[in-house]
Amino acid sequence: MKESPMAVAEVEPRGRSVKASRREFAKLVTASGIALSLSRLALANEPGFAARETLPGRQRWNPAATGAGRIDGVAKVTGAKLYASDFRAADLPGWPAHTAHATLIRTANATHIYEGLDLARLSGLLKPSVVVTATDLARIGVRVPKFYSGDLFCPIGKTPLYLGQPAALLIYESFDAFDQARLALRNEALLKFGAET
């Protein structure tokens, strides 16, 4: 069946003549209207999220795009970040005015029987005020939750459960003593081990 001459419209996009039926013309007009209405979305303003940022530099943080940076990096280098070491016990309400300092002695061997500490190498100022071991924890009844399965500190006469299992806690009354002992302990082996298990 032939279309009547009235059913064909001529559309001239970009200087070319295109013959379209009524149905094709209606489709073109509808598609053009949808395209025009959607083009206005690009003009919408983005919300002012950057004005409400609480961490400086966060709006520009995208490690996937830049391959670098931490979310708190800007706060660190500008001095705005707070660390636990920024607070002293004397500064906190209800806390004692004096602060003791401690270092945790961890096992570096998980294949031999642990035989105890050799504190003879620490003399004078380097000697700790208090030494806490697995024996002390057992005496006062400290128990770890069953989830952790094992001893909190490695007891004498047992093989450590893992590398780095705590063996003792050395407590110092002054920061100077703690700091000097900490540096001295880097090169000293305080833990004694026996037979391989």
- DSSP class of residue 2? P
Could you give the C-alpha distances from 145 to 29, 69, 168, in angstroms and in order?
73, 38, 19
Residue spans per domain, the chain: 7-43, 49-84, 100-196
Of residues 56 and 112, more confidently modeled: 112
Residue ranges of E strands in 134-190: 166-172
> Which residues are registered as beta bridge partners of 193?
114
Most confident segment among 22-26, 110-114, 150-154: 110-114
Using alpha carbons, select from 114, 82, 108, 121 the residue that is nearest to residue 162: 108
Q: What is the pTM of this model?
A: 0.57
Say whether 115 sits in a helix, a strand or coil.
Answer: strand
pLDDT for res 50: 54
CB neighbour list of residue 155: distance below 8 Å, 6 or more residues apart: 114, 134, 135, 138
Q: In this predicted model, what pLDDT tens digit does every residue of 25-75 receive, in sequence order? A: 788 778 777 776 665 555 555 555 455 555 555 556 566 666 566 777 778
> Residue 145's pLDDT band (boundaries 50, 70, 90)?
confident
Question: For domain 100-196, is the CATH number 3.90.1170.50?
Answer: yes
Residue 147, SS3?
helix
Residue 128: CB partners within 8 Å, gap ≥ 6?
119, 122, 170, 171, 172, 181
**162 burial level (CB within 10 Å; 0-12, 13-18, 19+):** exposed
